[in-house]
Structures are given as C-alpha cells and as structure tokens.
C-alpha cells in the first residue's frame, strides 16, 4: 500500500505532468484526493496521461517555455475548480541536441534553448501561480524541479554547463521569491534529484561507464539509477499541508550523490 499524503482536495498544476517525474507525482496526487492540471509539449502524451489519471485530472499540450502556457494552466485550474493551491514545475530537459555541453563547445543556440527550457519556464510558471495566489489572498505552494548538478557537478559524465547554470539559477530564484512572499503565506521549495530514469535520461542510463560511476556515486539501495517513485514521496510531502511551515528549502533526493565521491577513469 502506498503512503498517504495530506493533499485531499488540493488543486495542483503540474507543468510537465505527463511523463517521468511529473506523471509519477500526478498519479500519486490524484490517488491521494487532489485535483490536477497537467501540461506537456506533446498532445499524445497529454492524452495518454489523462487516460491514466482519470476524472480528477485535466490538461492540454503547450510549451512551458512560453508564458501563455503557464497562464493557461492556472486559468484552467481556476475555471474548473475555483482556485489554485499549488504548482509543481517539472518541465525541463537536456539542451545537448541544441549545443549545450562544456563551455568551450557551448553554442549560442544551446545556451538560449537550455536557459529558456529550464530556467525561464520556471520563472514564468511561478509568476502565473504567485499572481493567482495573491489574487486569492489564500497563500499557496510552489515546488520547482532542480538538480544536484546545480551545485554538485560531475565533470566527466554530465558536463552540460548551461543546464547546470539553469539548475543553480532555480535555487537562487526560488529562495529569493520564498523570502519575498513568505508574509503572503506562499511557500516555495526546490526538489533536486540526481540521475533518475526518465525519458530525458536515456543517454546516461544506457551508458555502461555512467552505470559504473552511478554505482559508487549513488550508493543507496545497492548503487543504482533512481526511479520517479523514489522522488514522488518527497515531492508530495513538500506539496502537502504537512509542509505548511517549510519554505526556501532545497531537498536533494539523490541516492547519496552529494555525499559520495564516486569513481571515474580520469
């Protein structure tokens, strides 16, 4: 039997809620009585996710790096349920195909694409949610998806410097707005996984050298790549009423990444 979380009746927007970490959390949210709005760039992913999530969910296809997508998601939550209680921003991804990588190889396109997808998108969704919380006068909760790469690099295997900058930026941004909006009872936290098996991580998950590295770098539970289920409990806790006195925090769900040296051939 899965754990129970105090999210009954909450209205939650999950940006990027149709695959991987976002879908995992959305499933647990509805299982625990929340109402969710999910978004994805892929129409087919939205259709498949809504079939799994059932009547407590609605959603649409939209690009999280465009401001109108978050605004539409918040508006849909309010139109359907009368309010917004929480935002969980998971949408993001690798910019390698666009030219992200070590700084000397980083292309202008890779820089812009990666920062828009992973940092600007969060700033826009948080803005839409905070505006709604202020209009409601009810407070609210924001949870942003970070990464251990924002402060604990892996130079041999994960040298995507625009991505790391974006994830570090999420921490600074989230702490800044957590401080500013605490008097309005708006909580803002960050969850920071290490390597988790998702559609984005297939390159790394399929690499034998990275698997050997992870066995030492993420030593918990036998030394393995994480799963979305490893992250969902922490996410649901931070979204829940039980975390009502927590803001401005970064929670690493990393299998020991940030306290382990790992081993490389370098």
The model's pLDDT over 10-28, given as tens digits with 9 standing for 90+, comes to: 999 999 999 999 999 999 9
pLDDT for residue 245 is more than 50: yes
pLDDT for residue 205 is more than 90: no
pTM for the full predicted model: 0.95
pLDDT for residue 30 is more than 50: yes
Task: Give the number of other CB atoms < 10 A from CB of residue 144.
Answer: 27
Q: Give dist(CA 49, CA 45) in Å, integer.
A: 6
Whole-number pLDDT of residue 4: 86
159 vs 265, more confident: 159
pLDDT for residue 213 is more than 70: yes
The 10s digit of each residue's pLDDT in 178-198 is 999 999 999 999 999 999 997
pLDDT for residue 234 is more than 90: yes
pLDDT for residue 162 is more than 80: yes
pLDDT for residue 264 is more than 90: no
From 157, 163, 180, 181, the catalytic residue: 163
Supply the mean pLDDT for the chain: 95
Bridge partner list, 145: 191
3-state secondary structure the chain: CCCCCCCCCCEEEEECCCCHHHHHHHHHHHHCCCEEEEEECCHHHHHHHHHHHHHHEEEEECCCCCHHHHHHHHHHHHHHHCCCCEEEECCCCCCHHHCCCCHHHCCHHHHHHHHHHHHHHHHHHHHHHHHHHHHHCCCEEEEEECCHHHCCCCCCCCCCHHHHHHHHHHHHHHHHHHHHHHHHCEEEEEEEECCECCHHHHHHHCCHHHHHHHHHHCCHHHCCCECHHHHHHHHHHHHCHHHCCCCCCEEEECCCHHHCCCCCCC
Arithmetic mean of pLDDT, 210-220: 93
What CATH topology corresponds to 11-254? Rossmann fold (3.40.50)
The 10s digit of each residue's pLDDT in 217-229 is 999 999 999 999 9
The 10s digit of each residue's pLDDT in 121-159 is 999 999 999 999 999 999 999 999 999 999 999 999 999
pLDDT for residue 1 is more than 60: no
Based on the residue annotation, tell me whether 113 is a catalytic residue of this protein: no
Q: Which of 38, 13, 258 is nearest to 150 (CA)?
A: 258
Arithmetic mean of pLDDT, 205-212: 84
- pLDDT class of 60 with cuts at 50, 70, 90: very high
Whole-number pLDDT of residue 57: 98
Whole-number pLDDT of residue 203: 76
């Amino acid at each position: 039997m899965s754990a129970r979380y105090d999210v009954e009746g909450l209205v939650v927007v999950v940006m990027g809620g149709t695959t991987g970490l976002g879908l995992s959390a959305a499933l647990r949210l509805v299982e625990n009585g929340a109402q969710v709005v999910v978004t994805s760039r892929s129409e087919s992913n939205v259709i498949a996710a809504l079939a799994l999530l059932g009547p407590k969910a609605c959603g649409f296809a939209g690009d999280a790096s465009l401001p109108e997508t978050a605004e539409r998601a918040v508006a849909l939550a309010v139109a359907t349920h009368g309010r917004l209680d929480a935002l969980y921003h998971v949408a993001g991804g690798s910019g390698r195909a666009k030219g992200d990588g070590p700084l000397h190889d980083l292309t202008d396109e890779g820089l812009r694409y990666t920062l828009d997808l992973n940092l600007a998108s969060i700033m826009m969704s948080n803005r839409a949610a905070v505006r709604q919380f202020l209009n409601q006068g009810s407070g609210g909760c924001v949870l942003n998806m970070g990464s251990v790469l924002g402060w604990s690099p892996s130079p041999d295997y994960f040298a995507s410097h625009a991505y790391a900058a974006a994830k570090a930026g999420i921490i600074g941004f989230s702490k800044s707005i957590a401080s500013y909006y605490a008097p309005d009872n708006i909580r803002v936290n960050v969850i920071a996984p290490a390597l988790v098996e998702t559609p984005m991580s297939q390159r790394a998950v399929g690499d034998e050298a990275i698997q050997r590295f992870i066995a030492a770098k993420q030593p918990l539970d036998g030394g393995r790549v994480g799963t979305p289920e490893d992250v969902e409990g922490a996410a649901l806790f931070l979204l829940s009423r039980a975390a009502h006195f927590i803001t401005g925090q970064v929670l690493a769900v990393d299998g020991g990444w940030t306290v382990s040296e790992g081993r490389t051939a370098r």
